[in-house]
Amino acid sequence: MTEPLTDLNRLCIHTITTKPWSLAEAIDGYTRAGVPGVTVWRQWLEPLGVDESARRLRDSGLEVVSVCRGGFFPAETAAGRQEALDDNRRAVDEAEAIGAPLIVLVCGAVPGIPLDEARRQIADGIAAVAPYAAEAGVKLSIEPLHPMFADDRSAVNTLKQANDIVDALAMPNVGVTVDVYHVWWDSELEEQIQRAGKTVFSFHVCDWRTPTRDLLNDRALMGDGCIDIRQIRAWVEATGFHGFNEVEIFSNEHWASDQTEFVERIKDAYLAHV
Amino acid sequence: MTEPLTDLNRLCIHTITTKPWSLAEAIDGYTRAGVPGVTVWRQWLEPLGVDESARRLRDSGLEVVSVCRGGFFPAETAAGRQEALDDNRRAVDEAEAIGAPLIVLVCGAVPGIPLDEARRQIADGIAAVAPYAAEAGVKLSIEPLHPMFADDRSAVNTLKQANDIVDALAMPNVGVTVDVYHVWWDSELEEQIQRAGKTVFSFHVCDWRTPTRDLLNDRALMGDGCIDIRQIRAWVEATGFHGFNEVEIFSNEHWASDQTEFVERIKDAYLAHV
């Protein structure tokens, strides 16, 4: 059995986890709480602009773990696919500006596009953006999304599919993100994490609530659901991964609560259940 | 490309699809509409009792395609697992009584039981019930459920897992049900349907709505979603399957509509999209 974590040294929180907070408020809240890492969602960069956001992040001492999110490659038209590539290159610029070594890819899906075609467009899109990202020293990480998002968020729904794309592209800055919420149900999870090996670039945690009242915004705090998070962390660490454990929770319930108290609850749940 | 269906000869409707209707009303509604097949959910047998329900079904001329549902094998205690076996044997009795050749298994899951343990209990449960079902001339069909139900409805979440159980048990009356709603996202679907071959015992259709507003009760009428149902039917028929195409729709929206009109819409959607 993997040992519990005994400190917060590898704790990272996604800005979307504390959605009511602006970037400035999140920086303040996380640093006051002793949270060392932050993953910045791109919309958090808009109010202050990228340069000022970058300055504030640098001054805070927080480690910027990643940028969420690139991807959304499939589109009905060539123009739409080009727009996606342009947007992903902008995400690379933003990551470079704020010192994020990695962009998480939510690969995209469109209800009218067959999944196999969407998956081809995803691989093509990643292949087109990866060299630009490599020049900027930025990694791209494919996050397989739960199959309940196969209609309009991602046609990559298992770690096996993500690994297949990584293997096919064979580009050193393309890897995978393991988010327990999306993959916990998969009976091939352990073997696919082993297969990913050194290409496990990042690790996200939260929990699966029973009953889940909303497909998108009802994720639970670690320990409030049925996922054996520590077991999955053990598999991930067996690959040699010792990066941040990133807390990414979309939750109408938690967003409605006091965010300072919520960050304290995250810290407790992190030590108890991750 | 598979040809569209040109008649209703293989159309079956699940009683839960027209949830506001009692068994008597469903028998009346389906026969008036020229729907030849029915799958009976067990709770529809309660008001009239099994014998009277069986008599009404026999007199109606409807073909009883299957009984929904057996399963729910995993439990925290041995007593709980025994209760599940007893209930599954009662389901066999009911199927025999109403002339249903098949019971659909929703295999079960419990948030506190690890998925691999739940899967073992499921295989054990099926193995325990299958001989009793065989004596009654009843088949048991494992329906893999969408991974979003892995917490509390089924630990069998892909057709591959269902096939693995069928292969391991190697009992002639144990096979699989392909429900497009649960498996459409799976990149291994075609190969796993081929692998199932003659053990594809039944086929369920509906559609995946975007956005899906409720995990359980927001299934769409065929054509109102993103599933390529006809493609999946082609794969299923390539195994030699030519049984009923069963319309199983849980939908708060459709249940709130006039059920006679809904059955007409089902017929139109069946010919246009299945």
The residue of A116, A122, A148 whose CB has the most chain B CBs within 10 angstroms, and thus the best one to mutate to test that interface, is A148
Q: Is residue A3 part of a domain?
A: no
Contact with chain B for residue A115, Cβ under 8 A: yes
Specify the amino acid at residue A244: F
B218 falls in which pLDDT band (50, 70, 90)?
A: very high
Share of chain A above pLDDT 90, in %: 99
Contact partners, residue B17, CB within 8 Å, separation at least 6: B247, B248, B249, B250, B254, B266
Q: Is residue A227 part of a domain?
A: yes
Cβ–Cβ pairs < 8 A, chains A and B: 67
Predicted pLDDT at A68: 97
A2 falls in which pLDDT band (50, 70, 90)?
A: confident
Q: Is pLDDT of A1 > 70?
A: no
Question: A187 vs B150: CB contact, 8 Å cut-off?
Answer: no
Question: B185 vs A150: CB contact, 8 Å cut-off?
Answer: yes
Q: What is the pTM of this model?
A: 0.97
Specify the amino acid at residue B272: A
Range of the domain at B188: 11-273
The residue of B179, B185, B207, B235 whose CB has the most chain A CBs within 10 angstroms, and thus the best one to mutate to test that interface, is B185
Predicted pLDDT at B2: 82
A247 falls in which pLDDT band (50, 70, 90)?
A: very high
Question: B215 vs A215: CB contact, 8 Å cut-off?
Answer: yes
Q: Is residue A50 part of a domain?
A: yes
Instruction: Report, as an integer, the average pLDDT of B33-58.
Output: 98
Predicted pLDDT at A236: 98
Predicted pLDDT at A156: 98
Question: Nearest to residue B198, comparing CAs of B154, B139, B145?
Answer: B139
Q: Is residue B6 part of a domain?
A: no
Predicted pLDDT at B208: 98
The residue of A183, A187, A216, A232 whose CB has the most chain B CBs within 10 angstroms, and thus the best one to mutate to test that interface, is A187
Of B119, B148, B151, the CB nearest to A226: B151
The string of pLDDT tens digits covering residues A36-95 is 999 999 999 999 999 999 999 999 999 999 999 999 999 999 999 999 999 999 999 999
B224 falls in which pLDDT band (50, 70, 90)?
A: very high
Question: Nearest to residue A126, comparing CAs of A90, A73, A83?
Answer: A73
B205 falls in which pLDDT band (50, 70, 90)?
A: very high
Instruction: Report, as an integer, the average pLDDT of B85-90.
Output: 98
Q: Is residue A1 part of a domain?
A: no
Question: A111 vs B225: CB contact, 8 Å cut-off?
Answer: yes
Q: Is pLDDT of A223 > 90?
A: yes
Contact with chain A for residue B148, Cβ under 8 A: yes
Instruction: Tell me what the pLDDT averaged over chain A comes to.
Output: 98
* Residues of chain A numbered 219-238 and touching chain B (CB < 8 Å): 225-226, 228
Instruction: Tell me what the pLDDT averaged over chain B comes to.
Output: 98
Contact with chain A for residue B212, Cβ under 8 A: yes
Tokens read off for A33: 């709480």
Q: Is residue B5 part of a domain?
A: no
Q: How far apart are CA A142 and CA B223, in angstroms?
A: 31
Question: A152 vs B211: CB contact, 8 Å cut-off?
Answer: yes
Question: Nearest to residue A66, comparing CAs of A130, A127, A15, A123?
Answer: A15
- Asked whether the beta carbons of B178 and B140 are under 8 A apart, the reply is no
Contact with chain B for residue A182, Cβ under 8 A: no
Question: B185 vs A147: CB contact, 8 Å cut-off?
Answer: yes
- Chain A residues in contact with B114 by the CB 8 A cut-off are 228
- Distance between B67 CA and the closest CA of chain A, angstroms: 26
Q: Is pLDDT of A148 > 80?
A: yes
Using only C-alpha atoms, what is the Rg of chain A? 18
Predicted pLDDT at A54: 98
Predicted pLDDT at B1: 64
Q: Give the Cβ contact number of residue A6 at 10 Å.
A: 7
Q: Is residue A264 part of a domain?
A: yes
- Chain B residues in contact with A185 by the CB 8 A cut-off are 115, 147, 150, 157
For chain B, the domain total comes to 1
Tokens read off for B125: 């449960």
**CATH number, domain containing residue A133:** 3.20.20.150
Contact partners, residue B181, CB within 8 Å, separation at least 6: B146, B204, B206, B207, B208, B219, B227, B248
Contact partners, residue A273, CB within 8 Å, separation at least 6: A207, A222, A223, A229, A230
Instruction: Report, as an integer, the average pLDDT of A225-229.
Output: 98
Q: Is residue A5 part of a domain?
A: no
The string of pLDDT tens digits covering residues B146-202 is 999 999 999 999 999 999 999 999 999 999 999 999 999 999 999 999 999 999 999
Residue with tokens 């299945």: B274
Question: Nearest to residue B130, comparing CAs of B71, B200, B52, B49?
Answer: B71
- Distance between B213 CA and the closest CA of chain A, angstroms: 7
- Distance between B230 CA and the closest CA of chain A, angstroms: 13
